[in-house]
Structure 1
Amino acid sequence: MKKIAIVTGANRGLGLATSEALAQRGFKVVMAMRNPDKAQKQVNAFKMKDLDVVPLKLDLSQEKSINEFVEVIRKEFGFVDVLVNNAGILIDSEDGGNSSLFKTKSATIQKTFTTNTLGPFLLTQKIFPLMQQEGYGRIVNVSSGMAQLSVPQNASASYRISKTALNMVTNLFASEVQGADICVNSVSPGWVRTDMGGPHADRTIEQGIKGIVWAATLPKGGPNGGFFRDSAPLPW
């Protein structure tokens, strides 16, 4: 039986590339996204390569959507081996908060936190039992160097706060493993040339997914509760 991997935000950028990479490694990949119809071209391209991918609707900003998504997973598969919490938003520039902390609006923080932190928390909360029952799982929270408390930070407050909180989500779920072969880790892909990172970023998408795929395919006894880039530990 094939292993099942869920990748959120799978319609573009890191999520799309991670989906392809995991499918190439033999996973059946559930490509979770808000608008599956808009990704049909990419899905068809993967299937032409004999990659086993399934697009499925998921809006992480809506708990109802998360519940419906998990119910489909439970009914269709009954278990999950890998969860990559990749979906995220960076909208600080929309209210001027990208350049000034003092221009950051509470609504921007709330919207960002809902998608970047609360959504992954709720999805992990509901998927985790499906891993526990099998005694195996790999959960990857795609974080950012912009979340590091050990590094001076400025601007983009909403994004930074949400990703720092996501790292705590990693820490909390990692403590729930209790002897099972489950690894929960945060991964920073670095500054990547995606729609979010922009054209001037210093890393390719292929470089960005390296650590994500590594964390999603860790062997038994792999690290749990860590923060990594390119498989190397990062300070919190």
Structure 2
Amino acid sequence: MTKIALVTGANKGIGYETAKQLAEQNIKVLLGARNETEGKKAETALRDLSLDVTYVKLDISNSADIENVKNYIENEYGALDILINNAAVFLDSAWFGNNVETVPLQTLRDTFDINYFGTVELTQALLPLIKKSESGRIVNISSVSGSFGVHLDETHWLYQLKPYAYSASKTALNQFTVFLANALKETNIKVNAANPGWVQTSIGSDQAPLTPEEGAKTGVALALLDEHGPTGTFSQSGEILPW
């Protein structure tokens, strides 16, 4: 039986590559994107590769979109096997430096709307469908920038990079991962957070060392975990990261 996956922010970057790699595993992938033109463009590109993908309009900060996608999946497929929470924004003025004293509250609110609140709302809405899967997998695409451990380590390369809104939203997402994994520990659902690394995307810039294809691999691996795989972890390429 074909597995069904939903990838948010799937029209470009890590989301697009995640959708591609999952579809290459003969998984039916729903491409969530808020921009219809870009979403359908991604759908066409992947279908041209003979991959089974379908665009769905999904702005995760829009409750109506979330409800529509939930109803669509329920009516068309009856269950959801894989949820990749990839959609995110970076609204801080720069990566470098510590802007905690000056970051506008609106920047914090707008960042959390997508990176945290929208992700939680979507996940909660889709949980009943994921619970119907024989092996549900939830992967939150986080960032090492959300790690307390890293930001306390003066020897880490990221120590000088403290964009507060983005980092705080990813810390909150990591907490959501831990709590959700705990809540579902008696089920067959596994919940994990992935750090894609520094990737060549609109957030990571073209200076990053990793391609989107490389950045997608950790999330894809967590989505394909077997029944013996871990839950409640934060990792990159199989290496556990400090919370």
- TM score, norm. by length of structure 2: 0.92
In structure 2, the partner of 1:30 is 30
User: Does the 8 Å CA contact 1:92/1:98 hold for their aligned counterparts?
Assistant: no
Q: Note the alpha carbon deviations across 1:121-171, whole angstroms, 9 max, x for none.
A: 111111112122334201000000100001225531100000000001111
In structure 2, the partner of 1:62 is 62
Partner amino acid for 1:63?
A: S
CA distance in 2, matches of 1:178, 1:18: 25
Equivalent position to 2:195, from 188, 193, 199? 188
User: Does the 8 Å CA contact 2:80/2:132 hold for their aligned counterparts?
Assistant: no
- Measured after TM superposition, the shift of residue 69 of structure 1 is 1.6
Unaligned stretches of 5+ in structure 1? none
User: Does the 8 Å CA contact 1:181/1:221 hold for their aligned counterparts?
Assistant: no
Q: Equivalences for 1:87-236 in 2 at 5 Å?
A: 87-93=87-93, 100-152=99-151, 153=159, 154-236=161-243
- TM score, norm. by length of structure 1: 0.94
- Measured after TM superposition, the shift of residue 14 of structure 1 is 0.2
Partner amino acid for 1:118?
A: F
SS of alignment partner, residue 136 of structure 1: coil
Partner amino acid for 1:156?
A: P
Q: Note the alpha carbon deviations across 1:84-103, whole angstroms, 9 max, x for none.
A: 00000001118x99752222
SS of alignment partner, residue 206 of structure 2: coil
Counting aligned pairs with the same residue, the percent is 38
Range moving further from structure 2, 191-200 or 128-137: 128-137
CA RMSD of aligned residues (A): 1.7
Q: Equivalences for 1:75-94 in 2 at 5 Å?
A: 75-93=75-93
SS of alignment partner, residue 102 of structure 1: coil
SS of alignment partner, residue 148 of structure 2: coil
SS of alignment partner, residue 30 of structure 2: strand
In structure 1, the partner of 2:154 is none
